Amino acid sequence: MGVKRDFNRLVHYGPQTMAQPIESDPTIAPGPQGAPGGDTTHFGYRTVAEAEKAGMVREVFDAVAPKYDLMNDLMSAGIHRLWKGAMIDWLAPRAGQSIVDVASGTGDIAFRMLERMGAAALPVTICDINAEMLNVGRNRAIDKGRLDGINWICGNAEALPFPDMSFDACTIAFGLRNVTHIDQAIAEARRVLKPGGRWMCLEFSKVLVPMLDKLYDAYSFRALPWLGGVVAGDREAYRYLAESIRRFPDQKNLASRMEAAGFAQVKVRNLSGGIAAVHSGWRI
Ligand code: SAM
């Protein structure tokens, strides 16, 4: 894969280490880089050098981290909770399974899985490139008394800091559109799954209901940046959000990229008329 990783140097933040804030891990593997000064990618509607994108995405989430959870509720009128619930219902996690949630942000998916699995739950591993987001989640875990339910890892979805075939299930919610190389992140998800393991991706997708797309456009390009400016103090971050959603592959395209990465039984469920979609695939 061309990316060197040293799993022994990885800092696992569990209950014993939670007194200290999570720090950005200097050993984070950067993922594949384009030729110097060469390849470009998109950051929202802007074209930027590949090497710049991860830093720009990091700045966005550094800026919004303290208000991220509140903004999620305000922006979606709470609907993101139903979408996340739909993915977890479909995954139907069971006690005893090893699960990793990638691009976990503040750990919302892990908290929801633990609530669902109750006392029988084993720790869920979460992994995000941004230490700020993880720290907001860590404070949330302290408030909820869930410190021992989650393993916190600062790492890159494009070069996951886990050995091959480590997990029974891998999820990613609203994270895939932020990575620089989507296909690399999909390949990494498959690599860390055990045979028989399942990957689920919840992401904004292509609206399939006539007229809803127009309303949705107006909302996301006008109301959303305004709300981001007022509540999170960062209008630009929420403009990026709207743009990055439009640049993300539609349902069919993402499904074929999963198949190209070797996932089997790829299936899609649309949510709210395609505003979001869950993709599911198995490593067989
Ligand atoms: N999954 C959470 C949720 O649904 O609430 C958070 C989603 S948030 C929109 C996107 C997250 O992806 C941010 O926390 C960001 O730091 C993370 N992210 C972006 N690029 C990443 C990468 N290359 N590797 C891991 N995480 C990444």
Nearest-angstrom CA–CA distance, 235 and 276: 22
pLDDT attached to residue 97: 92
Amino acid letter for position 233: G
CATH topology of domain 7-32+39-282: Rossmann fold (3.40.50)
The verdict on the CB of residue 61 being under 6 Å from ligand 1 is yes
C-alpha to C-alpha distances, 164 to 103, 111, 138, 161, 268, nearest whole angstrom:
18, 25, 27, 10, 26
What is the Cα gyration radius of the chain?
18
Q: Which two tokens stand for residue 168?
A: 């029974």
Q: Which two tokens stand for residue 138?
A: 């860590």
Nearest-angstrom CA–CA distance, 193 and 166: 6
Q: Can you give the pTM of this predicted structure?
A: 0.88
Q: What atom in ligand 1 is closest to the CA of residue 58?
A: 16
The verdict on the CB of residue 22 being under 6 Å from ligand 1 is no
How far does the centroid of ligand 1 lie from the alpha carbon of residue 157, in Å? Answer: 9
How far does the centroid of ligand 1 lie from the alpha carbon of residue 149, in Å? Answer: 20
Backbone angles phi, psi at 210, to 5 degrees: -55, 140
Nearest-angstrom CA–CA distance, 270 and 137: 28
How far does the centroid of ligand 1 lie from the alpha carbon of residue 129, in Å? Answer: 7
Mutate to test the pocket of ligand 1, among 3, 59, 61 (most ligand atoms within 8 A of CB): 61
Nearest-angstrom CA–CA distance, 9 and 29: 12
How far does the centroid of ligand 1 lie from the alpha carbon of residue 104, in Å? Answer: 6
Half-sphere exposure of 70 (CA within 13 A, CB side): 11
Q: What atom in ligand 1 is closest to the CA of residue 108?
A: 5
Length of the chain: 284
pLDDT attached to residue 56: 86
Tell me how many degrees the CA angle 40-172-138 measures, rounded to the nearest 5: 105
Domain boundaries, the chain: 7-32+39-282
In this structure, are residues 190 and 196 in contact, taking their beta carbons and an 8 Å threshold? no
Q: What atom in ligand 1 is closest to the CA of residue 130?
A: 16
pLDDT attached to residue 8: 44
Nearest-angstrom CA–CA distance, 141 and 245: 29
Q: Which helix (H) or strand (E) holds 5?
A: none
Q: What atom in ligand 1 is closest to the CA of residue 105?
A: 14
Q: What atom in ligand 1 is closest to the CA of residue 172?
A: 1
The verdict on the CB of residue 132 being under 6 Å from ligand 1 is no
Q: Which helix (H) or strand (E) holds 101?
A: strand 99-102
- Reduce the DSSP state of residue 44 to 3 states and report it: coil
Nearest-angstrom CA–CA distance, 176 and 174: 6
User: What DSSP state is assigned to residue 156?
Assistant: B
Nearest-angstrom CA–CA distance, 120 and 93: 11
How far does the centroid of ligand 1 lie from the alpha carbon of residue 127, in Å? Answer: 9
Q: Which two tokens stand for residue 250?
A: 């539609």
Mutate to test the pocket of ligand 1, among 178, 183, 234 (most ligand atoms within 8 A of CB): 178
For the stretch 15-46, pLDDT in tens is 445 555 676 665 566 666 554 556 888 888 88
Among protein residues, the one with the nearest Cα to ligand 1's atom 14 is 105
Give the chain's residues under pLDDT 50.
1-4, 6-11, 15-16, 35
DSSP string for residues in 216-239:
HHHIIIIIHHHHIIIIIS-HHHHH
- Reduce the DSSP state of residue 160 to 3 states and report it: coil
Among protein residues, the one with the nearest Cα to ligand 1's atom 16 is 130
For the stretch 180-232, pLDDT in tens is 999 999 999 999 999 999 999 999 999 999 889 889 988 988 888 898 888 88
Q: Which helix (H) or strand (E) holds 42?
A: strand 40-43
Nearest-angstrom CA–CA distance, 146 and 123: 10
